[in-house]
């Protein structure tokens, strides 16, 4: 139930190119899309299902002429009517807030932001019949690389291919509505994205395939008698379209 880190290791082997210090760069971006949300509870095949989901992202990032900067990114995913065992329907909401420092490498036709910072994450499972929620709140560290290659350039118009790969880990607190107990666990996170961008002056249009994954270990025991919360794997895989202003 562990998220492999090989894709991040391979991304970090990209050459570190010289920094172009001609100008600062600011980017405000929004994206929306659709895909599939999947949830699998460890050791319990009844609580495994997937459903169609919607996705939303809003982000801001700025870097100086020397490439140093930071940003903030919010992502949200929502799915309805996952069907668990015993006829239980569950709505799922997954959200994250990533605040990060950035260093952006830049050459003629290549750029690669390197981001590192704090990730706050929440997963809420709402049993629609009983209206009982199970909430997983996590906080930890997250790092990401985002190489981008320019394929065509004509004046202020550019067409690029880009990718993003990230990984992180943090502490998790689990709460169940109507239960005074709270459980502690660890959760790993990973993100993959591959797409294309078209720059028309200061306007950016994009399309991408995206995947977000998180994997929680079984919790520490809580209560008397001691009980545990099972671990899980949760993921979103889909596509989204984006719009940004770059200046």
Q: What is the Cα–Cα distance from 242 to 237, expressed in whole angstroms?
A: 16
User: CA angle 97-78-177, nearest 5°?
Assistant: 85
pLDDT confidence of residue 23: 64
How many Å separate Cα 61 from the centre of its chain?
A: 16
12-38 per-position pLDDT tens digit: 444 333 344 446 899 999 999 999 999
Q: What is the Cα–Cα distance from 165 to 7, expressed in whole angstroms?
A: 7
Which tokens go with 166?
């990230």
Looking at per-residue confidence, does 223 or 85 come out higher? 223
* Residue 185 predicted with pLDDT over 80: yes
Model pTM greater than 0.85?
yes
- The set of residues, in sequence order, having a beta carbon less than 8 Å from that of 180 and lying 6+ positions away, is none
């Amino acid at each position: 139930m562990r998220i492999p880190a090989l894709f991040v290791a391979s991304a970090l082997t990209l050459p570190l190119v010289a920094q172009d210090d001609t100008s600062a760069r600011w980017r405000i971006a929004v994206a929306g899309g659709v895909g599939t949300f999947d949830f699998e509870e460890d050791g319990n095949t009844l609580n495994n299902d997937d459903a169609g989901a919607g996705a939303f992202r809003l982000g801001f990032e700025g870097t100086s002429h020397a490439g140093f900067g930071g940003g903030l990114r919010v992502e949200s995913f929502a799915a309805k009517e996952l069907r668990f065992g015993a006829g239980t329907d569950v709505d799922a909401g997954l959200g994250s807030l990533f605040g990060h420092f950035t260093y952006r490498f830049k050459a003629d036709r290549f750029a690669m932001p390197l981001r590192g910072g704090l990730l706050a994450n929440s997963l809420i499972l709402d049993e629609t019949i009983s209206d009982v929620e199970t909430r997983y709140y996590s906080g930890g560290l997250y790092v990401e690389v985002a190489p981008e290659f320019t394929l065509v350039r004509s004046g202020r118009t550019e067409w690029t291919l880009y990718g993003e790969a990230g990984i992180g880990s943090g502490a998790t607190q689990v709460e169940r509505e109507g239960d005074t107990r709270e459980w502690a666990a660890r959760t790993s996170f990973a993100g993959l994205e591959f797409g294309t961008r078209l720059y028309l002056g200061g306007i950016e249009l994009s399309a991408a395939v995206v995947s977000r994954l998180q994997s929680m270990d079984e919790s520490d025991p809580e209560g008397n008698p001691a009980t545990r919360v099972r671990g899980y794997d949760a993921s979103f895989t889909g596509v989204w379209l984006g719009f940004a202003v770059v200046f």
